[in-house]
Amino acid sequence: MSRLNRRHFLQSSAVAGTSLILAGTRASGNVLGANDRVRIAVAGLNGRGKSHIGGWMGQKNVELAYLADPDQNVLARTMKNVEAKTRGKYNTAGIDDIRRALDDRNVDAISVATPNHWHSLITIWAAQAGKHVYVEKPMSHDVGEGRVAVAAQKKYGVVIQHGTQSRSSSSIAGLHEAIQAGKFGKLKISYGYCCKPRGSIGTKTPSTPPSNLDWNLWRGPAKIDQFHGNFSHYNWHWFWKTGNGDLNNQGTHQLDIARWALDTELTHPIRAMAIGGRFGWDDQGETPNTMFGLAEYPNGQYVFFNVRNVNYKGYQRQVENEYYFEDGGKIIRGQYYAKGSSQGERISVPAGKVTPGGNWGAFIAACRANDPSMANGNVHDAHYGCVLGHLMNNSYRLGEKVPFNAKAGRFGDNKDASEHFMKLHDIMSNGVGVPADGNEYVVGPWLTFDPKTETHTGAFASEANALLKDPNRDGFVVPTVDAV
């Protein structure tokens, strides 16, 4: 939406009286002022939005200019909490539509903590309005809109920082710099895990949206006709039109770390596939609760990924990363194991290069310097990491059902992939207790991908390219790269 269109929206909504403002007035000053004040608008006030608010309130000379949420109850509750904490230090306006903040020239940055399907569009709108952006993971809900976010950052020169907090870790940065320098030999496989227990979401029947929720604004760009109670306020993660499953939810952090360790010149993989399923829950969710994904890069390095959500007695929680090297060595939980050794050695490497201040402080520093390169987890890293997950997910979405057994994996002569899939299968069959009878894996095809054009080639190209960009609702259309 152009600035002209946003102004037209504001004028129209003001006349119609349909947009909610709860409290507050606009404070004066902006990031270019003598006192370096940074004024931020937070979009999305549940879940991660609470962390955003706390993070910005913990930074010196940073003001919460606007809090935006389409749920009036959430907005009112959050406004009350913030007002109690700020005690008149500055005024915060509560709004239902982030576009009001975008048209305020005194707002310096937008902090995006909405459901996934809104992340890129708000990022793009903010860049067009000249605002810096801190956007929650994943930055994109699909490959296509991520491309546009990258183009918007390039055109408007704003700071865009991804909500992958590990990018602010000098210890992880140092480890990856050591790996890339060859300290442990040539990296072969960078492996991420998102294994945290979750439960069934049941089934909610279609219904009228609650009166406190602006359903039009909540949906935004997502083409959804009917409301049901599993959309609001967390279980949207498990539906393809609004979320990306745990692979690109919590898993975005570990995916990003895994890709970060690869050779520095790499962008996207050249092929990817996934196998998994949604076992044991018999609910409304669409995304897999169990997945093994893998992607190959042009230099032969791989990223493996493991999602495992089904709880059981003896569940091993793993939200972590491992590194496997061509000579047989490996790094697991901060220790290096030489080939054939069961005795780990503590790793000691120098701290790596990051902008100091943690994820919140680094973003504020980048905004004050007006320097996108200072972002810990910039728009390019965000895009490359998110696309990695999207390609694995898209393979799964194009998969076919096969019997639930050890032969389900189709990895060709990749013995490493077979070995790690078998570890997952053993957990699901013997740990979780998924019976072979009546259960099936979804086995996705190998999807080949051109990193330069960011499109699929070869087998399944037509079907896979159709998943690169979701259709959008009128009034909330993600622009094309050329039109951004």
Residue 375 Rama label (left phi>0; alpha psi -120 to 50; beta): beta
Identical topology for domains 3-167 and 171-353+379-465: no
Query: What's the pLDDT score for residue 13?
Result: 40
Query: What's the pLDDT score for residue 4?
Result: 36
Of 10-24, 307-321, 406-420, 462-476, give the lowest mean pLDDT range.
10-24
17: Cα within 13 Å, side-chain hemisphere = 0
- Tell me the torsion sign for CA atoms 376, 380, 383, 384: negative
Q: What DSSP assignment string belongs to 357-420?
A: SHHHHHHHHHHHHT-GGG-SS-HHHHHHHHHHHHHHHHHHHT-EEEESSTT----TT-HHHHHH
Band of residue 253 on the pLDDT scale cut at 50, 70, 90: very high
Q: Match 């979009």 to its residue by tokens.
A: 43
Q: Long-range contact list for 313-320, CB < 8 A, 24+ apart?
A: 314/431, 315/197, 315/431, 316/195, 317/195, 317/196, 317/197, 318/193, 318/195, 319/193, 319/194, 319/195, 319/196, 319/250, 319/253, 319/254, 320/192, 320/193, 320/254
Asked whether residue 28 carries a pLDDT value surpassing 80, the answer given is no
> Once rounded to an integer, what is the mean pLDDT over residues 439-456?
98
> Once rounded to an integer, what is the mean pLDDT over residues 103-118?
98
Query: What's the pLDDT score for residue 302?
Result: 98
The C-alpha atoms of residue 139 and residue 235 are separated, in whole angstroms, by 18
Query: What's the pLDDT score for residue 410?
Result: 87
The C-alpha atoms of residue 282 and residue 104 are separated, in whole angstroms, by 47
* CA–centroid distance for 183 within its chain: 30
Band of residue 62 on the pLDDT scale cut at 50, 70, 90: very high
Q: Which CATH number fits domain 171-353+379-465: 1.10.8, 3.40.50, 3.30.70, 3.30.360?
A: 3.30.360
Asked whether residue 31 carries a pLDDT value surpassing 60, the answer given is no
* CATH class of the 3-167 domain in this structure: alpha beta
Amino acid identity of 3? R
Please, what is the average pLDDT of the chain?
Answer: 93
Asked whether residue 20 carries a pLDDT value surpassing 60, the answer given is no
Over residues 391-414, the pLDDT tens digits come to 999 999 999 999 999 999 989 899
> Once rounded to an integer, what is the mean pLDDT over residues 295-310?
98
Q: Which are the contacts of 12, defined by CB distance < 8 A and separation ≥ 6?
A: none
Q: Match 């083409």 to its residue by tokens.
A: 223
Query: What's the pLDDT score for residue 21?
Result: 42
Asked whether residue 36 carries a pLDDT value surpassing 80, the answer given is yes
Over residues 78-98, the pLDDT tens digits come to 999 999 999 999 999 999 999
Q: pTM of the entire structure?
A: 0.93
| No. of helices (H) and no. of strands (E), the chain | 13, 18
| Domain extent listing, the chain | 3-167, 171-353+379-465
Query: What's the pLDDT score for residue 298?
Result: 98
Of 13-22, 62-71, 99-108, 308-317, give the lowest mean pLDDT range.
13-22
Query: What's the pLDDT score for residue 33?
Result: 47
Which residue in 205, 206, 275, 284 sits closest to 247, CA to CA? 275
Percentage of the residues of the chain whose pLDDT score is greater than 70: 93
